[in-house]
């Protein structure tokens, strides 16, 4: 069934809790058919923002709309927006019982429970109490609950947290599949590396304010060329500096030639491999550094507004 395209839009949103300005003048949109990563360090205002989108927290200023209307004005909110934000399970309930309660509340057929348990890979654990679930299993159950009503918008708060590598691969595929159906998928994370293989668009916030919004490719564009990590198989043989010299002769810049792994720029991984082959130096390691995006993310969110720490008091005045 074709999914109705529902845009999520946040405009000039602000929220203060006492002395803490949790969100300040925040504007961004999450588009149908795309996975949007909502990124920022811990405490930067992500949960508060999602909570305002879901009508759980009242903004001081600004608006959050889903398909042009606030959450509270949606005709069938639970069938329009699925979220993992308020997912709380009774530890004595089984996974199946939890989903059954949710599906009754939102008015979807009983068959949806088994369908979503299957979808999130919890069919075998469905009749176990959620109190015994691992964090990864609870994440899967929260996702199943969010998807019960087959909503056009899926809002997930840190859905990857607690998943093992297999679980991370699985959720990537699932979120991409949901976007492929035309759904609007918005997920928060404090780690760009956790979501960079999943998201199309990125919204970065820092201390409640927008630091960046655009595509992942646009975020990447500012970060320059790739760095190749390379390590020789016999680090004590003197081959590491020898390889460094060969790479430099081939036009590369090499950093850390004395360590177990060198960082190489100016050549792609295949060319680095060929230089090693040409010098008859066996390699133990050859990869592309994944941290360039993370670096640009960290630059965006670093606390530039923070006061430098006060100098320690010295006895007896200035030295
Ligand atoms: N109900 C509340 N009362 C008081 N302060 C709050 C409340 N909710 C959030 N805050 C504060 O607002 C700021 C933003 O918190 P928020 O939970 O939105 O950030 P976050 O980016 O989701 O962080 P995390 O990933 O750690 O959950 C924090 O300083 C937090 O302590």
**Domain at 228-301: CATH architecture:** 2-Layer Sandwich (3.30)
Q: What is the widest separation between alpha-carbon atoms in the chain?
A: 78
Res 232: pLDDT = 93
Enter the ipTM. Answer: 0.94
Question: In the chain, what is the straight-line distance between the N-terminal and C-terminal CA atoms, in Å?
Answer: 76
Among 13, 39, 46, 188, residue to substitute to test ligand 1 (most atoms within 8 Å of Cβ):
46
22 — pLDDT class (breaks 50, 70, 90): very high
Query: By CB neighbour count within 10 A (0-12 exposed, 13-18 middle, 19+ buried), where does 82 fall?
Result: buried
Contacts of residue 126, defined as CB under 8 A and 6 or more positions apart, other chains included, come to: 94, 95, 96, 114, 117
Look up the pTM and report it. 0.74
Q: Say which CATH topology domain 8-221 has.
A: Rossmann fold (3.40.50)
To the nearest whole percent, how much of the chain has pLDDT over 70?
89
**Model confidence pLDDT, tens digit, residues 163-188:** 888 888 889 999 999 999 999 999 99
| Residue of minimum CA distance from atom 30 in ligand 1 | 43
Domain boundaries, the chain: 8-221, 228-301
* CA distance linking residue 112 with residue 126, whole number of Å: 13
* CA distance linking residue 101 with residue 169, whole number of Å: 29
Sheet holding 35-39, edge to edge: 81-83, 153-157, 184-189, 35-39, 201-206, 209-215
Among 23, 44, 54, residue to substitute to test ligand 1 (most atoms within 8 Å of Cβ):
44
Ligand 1 center to 148 CA (angstroms): 28
Dihedrals phi, psi of 264, to nearest 5 degrees: -120, 130
* CA distance linking residue 81 with residue 92, whole number of Å: 27
Res 222: pLDDT = 55
Ligand 1 center to 21 CA (angstroms): 9
- Angle (CA) 268 271 273, round 5°: 110
Ligand 1 center to 81 CA (angstroms): 22
Above 70 in pLDDT, residue 71? yes
Among 20, 86, 157, 159, residue to substitute to test ligand 1 (most atoms within 8 Å of Cβ):
20
- Give the range with max mean pLDDT: 34-38, 227-231, 296-300: 34-38
Ligand 1 center to 49 CA (angstroms): 9
* CA distance linking residue 289 with residue 203, whole number of Å: 23
- List ligand 1's pocket residues with C-beta within 6 A: 17, 20, 22, 40, 42-48, 190
């Amino acid at each position: 069934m074709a999914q109705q395209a529902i845009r999520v839009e946040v405009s000039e949103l602000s929220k203060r809790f006492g002395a803490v300005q949790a969100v300040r003048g925040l504007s961004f949109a999450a588009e149908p058919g795309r996975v949007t990563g909502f990124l920022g360090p811990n405490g930067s205002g992500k949960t508060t923002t999602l909570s305002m989108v879901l009508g759980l927290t009242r903004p001081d200023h600004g608006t959050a709309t889903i398909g042009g209307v606030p959450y509270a004005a949606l005709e069938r909110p639970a069938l329009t927006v699925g979220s993992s934000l308020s997912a709380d399970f009774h530890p004595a309930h089984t996974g199946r019982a939890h989903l059954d309660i949710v599906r009754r509340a939102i008015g979807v057929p009983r068959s949806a429970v088994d369908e979503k348990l299957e979808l999130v890979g919890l069919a075998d654990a469905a009749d176990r109490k959620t109190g015994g679930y691992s964090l990864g299993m609870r994440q899967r159950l929260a996702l199943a609950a969010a998807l019960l009503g087959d909503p056009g918008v899926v809002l997930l708060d840190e859905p990857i947290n607690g998943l093992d590598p297999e679980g991370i691969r699985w959720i990537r595929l699932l979120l991409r599949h949901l976007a492929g159906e035309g759904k609007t998928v918005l997920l928060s994370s404090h780690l760009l590396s956790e979501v960079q293989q999943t998201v199309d668009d990125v919204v970065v916030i820092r201390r409640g304010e927008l630091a960046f919004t655009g595509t992942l490719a646009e975020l990447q564009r500012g970060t320059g060329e790739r760095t190749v990590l390379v390590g020789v198989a016999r680090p004590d043989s003197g081959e590491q500096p020898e390889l460094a010299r060969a790479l430099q002769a081939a036009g590369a810049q090499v950093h850390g030639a004395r360590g177990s792994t060198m960082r190489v720029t100016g050549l792609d991984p295949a060319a680095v491999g060929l230089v090693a082959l040409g010098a008859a130096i066996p390699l133990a390691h050859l990869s592309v550094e994944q941290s360039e995006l993370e670096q640009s993310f960290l630059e965006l969110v670093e606390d530039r507004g923070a006061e430098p720490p006060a100098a320690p008091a010295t006895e007896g005045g200035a030295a």
